Chains A and B, each alone.
Chain A
């Protein structure tokens, strides 16, 4: 085993590892948020931002490490995809959740949605699959 040497000369390694650690922290935090937050909507908000941010940081760290045009393009591509798709996915899922009437946290200020929720109820199916009651 080599001795532990902090090789300052390779500054891109340092920057990269810092960025990655930061990203990891973001991701970890968003996971914790996902686990700890009280209702679906709050979890959602924790997750979308946190995980996208964390992923972005890690990827940037990666591109710093490789310092190469090829890799940078690819990473830009991933970032583009993630930044485009992650909000869309979040949007679609929350929309679905609202439609499915996933319960809100008791302390949510729900009044301003009430009209919308009523309208949504018109679309409710009569026979609801049992699994939604269970889950």
Chain B
């Protein structure tokens, strides 16, 4: 389904969805929204992407992080090396991908890891209360007041866990199914 109109629209929409999803996550405490809805919105862009480009392309473009390029590090200064890594990991990743070299160490971000991180965040947000002598999941609040978020506390951590989990799950399901 790679029509040029759809493909372009999707490419544009993905970052919008991402930002919007984080927004929904953060304001969920005071307005409709929250981790679940946010996670779904965040992952929806990738569903589109999978539908238009296929699983492999999606994985290649978004779920491989090029961490290091040792050879380059020898040639350049530290600052340039950092820049290079940033470049490799952001805008120009496709171009780097094309000239495959062993020096690029690639880390796969598996959806399972996202799921596990989400669960871990959610479970651990409760532990903070537990180890301060209260029951599990007792909320601890910071004194700050941030515009959209309100007062951040452990519940926000919990919500972020839900977000990541839902994100990971939708990705996992979509990838597996689309590969069929």
Q: State if A and B touch, Cβ cutoff 8 Å.
A: yes
Q: Hey, which bits of chain A sit against chain B, CB under 8 A?
A: 77, 80, 84-85, 87-88, 91-92, 95
Who on chain B is nearest to A90 by CB?
A: B5
Question: Which residue of the partner chain A has the closest CB to B5?
Answer: A91
Q: How far, in whole Å, are A91 and B13 apart by their CA atoms in the complex?
A: 17
A88 engages B5 (CB within 8 Å): yes
Residues of B1-46 contacting chain A, CB below 8 A:
1, 3, 5-6, 9, 12-13, 16, 20
Bound-complex Cα distance A88 to B3 (A):
10
Kindly state the separation between the CA atoms of A102 and B143 in the bound complex, as whole angstroms: 62
Name B132-169 residues within 8 Å CB distance of A.
none
B12 and A92 contacting across the interface, CB-CB below 8 Å: no
3 residue pairs, one from A and one from B, having the closest CB atoms: A88-B9, A91-B5, A88-B6
Size bracket, chain B contacts: under 10
Identify the closest chain B residue to A91 (Cβ).
Answer: B5
For A80, list chain B residues within 8 Å (CB). Answer: 16
Which residue of chain A has its CB nearest to the CB of B8? A88
Evaluate whether A84 and B6 lie within 8 angstroms (CB atoms) in the complex, with A77-B20, A92-B1 already known: no
Chain B residues with a Cβ under 8 A of chain A: 1, 3, 5-6, 9, 12-13, 16, 20
A84's partner among B1, B3, B13 (CB-CB below 8 A) is B13
Chain B proximity of A125: nearest CB distance (Å): 16
Q: Determine if B20 and A85 form an interchain contact, defined as CB atoms under 8 angstroms apart.
A: no
Could you tell me if B6 and A92 are in contact, using CB atoms closer than 8 angstroms? yes
Measured between C-beta atoms, what is the minimum distance from A119 to chain B in Å?
A: 16
CA distance A87 to B5 in the complex (A): 9
Residue of A nearest to B23 (CB): A77
A87 to B3, CA, bound (A): 13
Q: Determine if A84 and B20 form an interchain contact, defined as CB atoms under 8 angstroms apart.
A: no
Which residues of A are found within 8 Å of B6, using beta-carbon distances?
Answer: 88, 91-92
- Chain A residues with Cβ under 8 A from B16's Cβ? 80
> How far, in whole Å, are A77 and B3 apart by their CA atoms in the complex?
24
Contact at B9–A95, with CB atoms within 8 Å? no
Q: Nearest chain-B residue to A70 (Cβ)?
A: B31
Contact assessment for B20 and A92 in the assembled complex, using a CB-CB cutoff below 8 Å: no
Contacts of A87 in B (CB 8 A): 5
CB distance A92 to B13 under 8 Å?
A: no
Contact A84 B12 (CB under 8 A): yes
Q: How far is the CA of A84 from the CA of B5 in the complex (A)?
A: 10
Let me know if A91 and B20 touch, CB within 8 A.
no
Q: How far is the CB of B12 from the nearest CB of chain A, in Å? A: 7
Closest to A95 in B: B3
Which of chain A's residues have a CB closer than 8 A to the CB of B3? 91-92, 95
13 A-B pairs in the complex with CB atoms less than 8 angstroms apart: A77-B20, A80-B16, A84-B9, A84-B12, A84-B13, A85-B9, A85-B13, A87-B5, A88-B5, A88-B6, A91-B3, A92-B1, A95-B3
- Chain A residues, Cβ within 8 Å of B5: 87-88, 91-92
